[in-house]
Structure 1
């Protein structure tokens, strides 16, 4: 019986170990995502909070909030899927940086006028992330936070409601895929060794 090739065996075992490791990592990510979704579900039911320097915006995602925005701001557009385009302005609320506010949506990307500011009711959400996919791969920091106005402002169409269904948690299916890839790689290699021995 021929001995298995050492180099090829090491490569296959290393690949299998890597895939199993990725599967285990995805299982851990699934637990983290479940905890995050549970926290967000509690935020949705929480009482409205005032946006201040002391409020942890990332920890309060999807929580109802109110904020007073001083001064006017130019507006910009960002894609909103089936809702068309988001109309976003910056809110000067005494924070360390201006807080984006999604005023409402429009169906077509038409020019919008400046927003005069004022009181805003809504909920906290992730702001559109302008970083490239390559940059996001190496920069794991979360995207910025914004207030989604509810009711909408400036005569715009309604914003999408806070929707927990839109938060995917498919890490367990990814884990199953990695474990399946590892098993398939082992089966193919064993079959290749048997054919070589024959």
Structure 2
């Protein structure tokens, strides 16, 4: 007991506090990365399962416990509102996601038609295809995730000029612009031949293996930090 107390007293308080704090933070980040890897593995397994199913209506998809990535089929009439979702890259080239509203018998649905390149001049909007996408349209159900770092600042106009440029897909903001309530999902349109839009959706951008690699790095850094601290304390005590 006395030996333990003497060892504790010999530890430099500030260096000990900083080291323990750093180790706890790095260990926590490692555990978080492992949890993210498990979530990605479950998501990929879910995608593999639902991709084999036939397309269902958006209402049927929303009735499922986990409706993300469910194949859906939508029909109805295209509405006037167009939205350009800014700052979307495709193979390093800047562009927009083009989102249009569809009036179906189940409600108004936001459909992401895909990516289109942006003009070189920032104040010039891209020329959108005149022909409406053919209906019925197939795709997958996508759940909107809010980016807390983005806050829309555009003032909603009673008579907007379409298309409206937004920083992210926000169904509440888009509903205000259109003056319509929107269903709580977005349909990612399937790829079609001769389409002017690029549709290469990536539901899982970072694979589970990369999260595991990051976790190993954090655990390794935590261990290295402890080893360096112990070695430094022993050398100090010897001196």
TM normalised by structure 2 equals 0.62
Structure 1 residue matching 2:101: 3-state secondary structure: strand
Number of aligned residues: 189
Shift of the 151–174 alpha-carbon distance from structure 1 to 2, 3 Å rule, reads closer
Name the residue aligned to 1:172: 212
Runs of 5+ unmatched residues, structure 1:
136-142
Shift of the 132–163 alpha-carbon distance from structure 1 to 2, 3 Å rule, reads closer
Distance in 2, matches of 1:99 and 1:25, equals: 35
- The equivalent position to 1:23 in structure 2, one of 26, 30, 33, is 30
Name the residue aligned to 2:232: 192
The alpha-carbon deviation at position 39 of structure 1 amounts to 0.5
> What is the Cα-based RMSD across aligned positions, in Å?
3.7
Structure 1 residue matching 2:135: 3-state secondary structure: strand
The alpha-carbon deviation at position 108 of structure 1 amounts to 3.7
- C-alpha contact 1:64 1:123 (8 A) present in aligned 2: yes
Q: Alpha-carbon deviations, 1:31-72, whole Å to 9, x = none?
A: 222112100111212111112266248823333211123352
Distance in 2, matches of 1:134 and 1:116, equals: 30
Are residue 52 (structure 1) and residue 62 (structure 2) matched?
Answer: no
Are residue 14 (structure 1) and residue 21 (structure 2) matched?
Answer: yes
Runs of 5+ unmatched residues, structure 2:
1-6, 120-125, 152-170, 172-183
Name the residue aligned to 1:140: none
Are residue 122 (structure 1) and residue 138 (structure 2) matched?
Answer: yes
Name the residue aligned to 2:168: none
- C-alpha contact 1:61 1:123 (8 A) present in aligned 2: no
The alpha-carbon deviation at position 113 of structure 1 amounts to 6.7
Name the residue aligned to 1:87: 98
